[in-house]
Every structure is written in C-alpha cells, then in structure tokens.
C-alpha cells in the first residue's frame, strides 16, 4: 500500500526537478549567448581599431618593401620617401618642442 503513494510522489518530484533543471539550463544558455554576442561585438571593434591604427602607423612610418630583385631606381625612390617621412616626423617633433619651450616662461617666470 505505501508504494502506491511513494511512486507517484517520486515521479512528480523527478518531473519537477527536471523542469527546474531544464529552466536553469535554458536561462544559462541565453545568458551565454548574450555574452558571446557582446564578445563578438567587442572583438569586431578591437579589430577595426587595430586596422585603423596599423594604417596610421604605416602612413607615419613607411617601411620599404623587400629589396630582392628590384630596380635600383625604385630602391632609391623608396629610400628617399622614407627619409622624407622621417624628416616630416622630426619636423613635427621639433615644432612641438618649440611650442612647449615658448610656453615655459609663462609658467616659470
């Protein structure tokens, strides 16, 4: 006689436990999907920013291509463009230094 009561209670408890476990698993899966979407968006932004910074760095500091099997005139032109880029960076740096030095008397005198 007690088995008639025990078995339905055990089955009902197993069904309720399975439902609660499934609901928790569903919620965790949704949270994981949202976190993965945020991570993908952040990765895309970082990749885009890295590409932009790499392009800017290449524009500021051009690196001549490999010199193997190239004409000397092309190599000299690449060298001249690299020197001009270097001179441009140095001129910007010196101009910035002159501006800072011009402001020093305002603060120290």
* Residue 7 confidence (pLDDT): 92
* Residue 75 confidence (pLDDT): 85
pLDDT tens column, 49-77: 999 998 888 787 766 667 677 788 988 99
Q: Indicate if 21 and 73 belong to the same structural domain.
A: no
* Residue 1 confidence (pLDDT): 61
The tally of domains found in the chain comes to 2
Q: Indicate if 92 and 56 belong to the same structural domain.
A: no
Name residues of the chain where pLDDT drops below 70.
Answer: 1, 62-65, 67, 109
Q: Indicate if 52 and 40 belong to the same structural domain.
A: yes
For the chain, the DSSP string reads: -HHHHHHHHHHHHHHHHHHHHHHHHHHHHHHHHHHHHHHHHHHHHHHHHHHHHHHHHHHHS------TT--HHHHHHHHHHHHHHHHHHHHHHHHHHHHHHHHHHHHH-
- The model carries a pTM of 0.47
Look up the domain containing 109 and give its range.
64-109
* Residue 65 confidence (pLDDT): 61
* Residue 30 confidence (pLDDT): 98
């Amino acid at each position: 006689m007690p088995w008639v009561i025990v078995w339905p209670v055990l089955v009902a408890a197993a069904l309720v436990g399975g439902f609660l476990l499934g609901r928790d698993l569903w919620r965790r899966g949704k949270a994981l999907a949202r976190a993965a979407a945020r991570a993908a968006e952040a990765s895309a932004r970082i990749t885009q920013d890295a590409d932009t910074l790499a392009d800017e760095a290449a524009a500021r500091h051009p690196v001549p291509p490999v010199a193997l099997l190239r004409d000397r005139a092309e190599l000299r032109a690449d060298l001249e463009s690299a020197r001009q880029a270097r001179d441009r960076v140095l001129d910007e740096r010196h101009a910035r230094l002159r501006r800072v030095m011009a402001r020093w008397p305002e603060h120290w005198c």
